[in-house]
Amino acid sequence: MIADLRVLSGARAGTTITITSEIIAGRAPGLGLQFDPGQDLDVSAQHAAIVYTGGRWVVRDLGSRNGTFVNGRRVREADLEHGDRIRFGVDGPEAEFRPRSVSGSPSASRRSPRVLLEQSNRQLRVMVGALIVALVGALGYATWSATRQRTEWERERASLLGRVDSALAAGDETARTLSGEREGLATALRDAQAEVRRVRGQLETTSGEDTAGTADLRRQLQSAMAALDRQQLAASIDFEAISAATRHAVAVVWVELRDGTVSTGTGFAVRADGTLVTSRHVLTGGAASGSPRRLAVQFADSRQVWPADVLGMDDNADIAVIRARNIIGGVPTVARLNLRADTLPPGSPIAWIGFPLGGETWPQDANTGRVARPLGAVGVLSTVEPARIAVQGYGGAAGASGSPILDEAGGVIAVLMGGTPSGRNLEIIGVPAAAVDGLLRRVAPAGGAAVSPR
């Protein structure tokens, strides 16, 4: 026998699979009907089998977590007819079953009326008996299935609550270790824990009989636990070590525009001769083009302000290169430029250091000004694209344009160009270090050793 299975929804919607005798559907690789492992999340690894046995087509649930449904009814095993719809999970993908006609069966027209009548009577008796057996079996199965489903849910709920309690305990321990510049992360961590506790409370009281509501609770818990995991990853970065190795290469960039307006941003030294990288919009005041009237830099933990010049700006990316004048003996630099941020997986811990706050008047030119104290923050890598890098940040130096964004080894992966607040969190956008390396090669090919790219 041959049948067709047409997928109606989910990531593989529109696909038609031909079945000759048996097929297994699920998200595991190599199956006859493999659903998308990243999108069809209601489907188990080996969810259900469709087989031809005893002269009929049958669908069997293979112990899936979210159940198998035929025409909206959850089944353990059920016969299939033309046009039946099979759904894999409560909110999972749906497929339509269509058996093909097989030629060569005996023609009813060749049989005598007596033979046909006897055959019909036999079939009627068989059908009535089968119906009675099916009714009794259905009642027994319904009772058994409800008991089994309740037992399975209680077991699953106990496992989920155990994982949640373990994650909450780890979060409490992490939050106690966060202070100072990482206090924003501690606040975000407590918010995520509160959401996890809220969903946990609902899980404790639900019976599991409402499959749609239970599936929704699972999704809420998955989202809340994912946020908690991201914050734990952000907390894992050794911020103190990165700050100690990088902060003295970071400087306030003082800018006086043509109209006399004074503003500040951040820059970081990439060469010992005082060559720094910053954001282009820091130098232009946000305008598409232009140049500052005056420019100066003040390195972290120092009162000294040095005059500086613009070496070049990128026409396409929001980055620029400047150089401080009159410095004797060289300046500290960042460790390296990491040109392969695309090798870092999403969720990698990230840090950045800069000066989000500045003055509105030009600083003192002698050693009498205030000491420049940088601020820092941590987050996790969200996306890496050729022209931009996105980081989910937690508190800290919002608006520190020109700051270096650093991987956990202290390598610069991007230059901070902006941020968008999202509740207590912040999405940070940066220009990849590969663009920085290209601009340096164009506008400052000589004049001191550059940090090594990687």
- Is residue 119 in a domain? no
- Is residue 116 in a domain? no
**Of 205, 236, 267, which residue constitutes the final position of a domain?**
236
Show the domain range for 316.
240-453
- Is residue 118 in a domain? no
Instruction: Indicate whether 280 and 419 sit together in one domain.
Output: yes
Residue among 96, 123, 75 at smallest CA distance from 33: 96
Write the single-letter amino acid at 82: H
Q: Which helix (H) or strand (E) holds 50?
A: strand 48-53
- Is residue 196 in a domain? yes
* pLDDT tens over the chain, length 454 residues: 799 999 999 999 999 999 988 999 999 998 999 999 989 999 999 999 999 998 899 999 999 999 999 999 999 999 999 999 999 999 999 999 999 865 433 333 334 454 445 555 666 666 766 677 667 766 766 666 656 666 776 777 677 777 777 767 766 666 666 655 555 666 666 777 787 788 778 777 776 666 777 777 777 777 777 767 667 777 788 889 999 999 999 999 999 998 888 989 999 999 999 999 999 999 998 777 788 999 999 999 998 999 999 999 999 999 999 999 988 888 999 999 999 988 998 889 999 999 886 666 777 654 556 888 898 888 899 999 999 999 988 755 455 899 999 999 999 999 999 877 655 567 889 999 999 999 999 998 865 456 766 6
Could you tell me the CATH number of the domain that includes residue 26?
A: 2.60.200.20
- Is residue 392 in a domain? yes
Instruction: Indicate whether 272 and 217 sit together in one domain.
Output: no
Task: Tell me the DSSP string of 299-344.
Answer: ETT----EEEEEEEE-SSSS-EEEEESS--S-----SEE---GGGS
Residue 224 makes CB contacts below 8 A (sequence gap 6+) with: 192, 195, 196, 199
188-223 per-residue burial string, b: 16 or more CB within 10 A, e: under 16: bbebbbebbeebbeebeeeebeebeebbebbebbee
**CA–CA separation, 96 vs 196, rounded Å?**
38
- Is residue 132 in a domain? no
Is the Cβ–Cβ distance between 26 and 61 less than 8 Å? Answer: no
- Is residue 142 in a domain? no
Q: What's the confidence (pLDDT) of residue 124?
A: 67
**CA–CA separation, 189 vs 397, rounded Å?**
18
pLDDT per position as a tens digit, 94-121: 999 999 865 433 333 334 454 445 555 6
**Of 73, 101, 129, which residue constitutes the final position of a domain?**
101
Instruction: Indicate whether 303 and 433 sit together in one domain.
Output: yes
Instruction: Indicate whether 297 and 442 sit together in one domain.
Output: yes
Number of other CB atoms surrounding residue 118 within 10 Å: 12
DSSP single-letter state for residue 109: G
DSSP single-letter state for residue 76: S
**Of 236, 267, 287, which residue constitutes the final position of a domain?**
236
Instruction: Indicate whether 221 and 297 sit together in one domain.
Output: no
Total domains in the fold of the chain: 3
- Is residue 155 in a domain? yes
Is the Cβ–Cβ distance between 29 and 6 less than 8 Å? Answer: no
* CB-count exposure of residue 147 (10 Å: 0-12, 13-18, 19+): exposed
Half-sphere exposure of 346 (CA within 13 A, CB side): 7
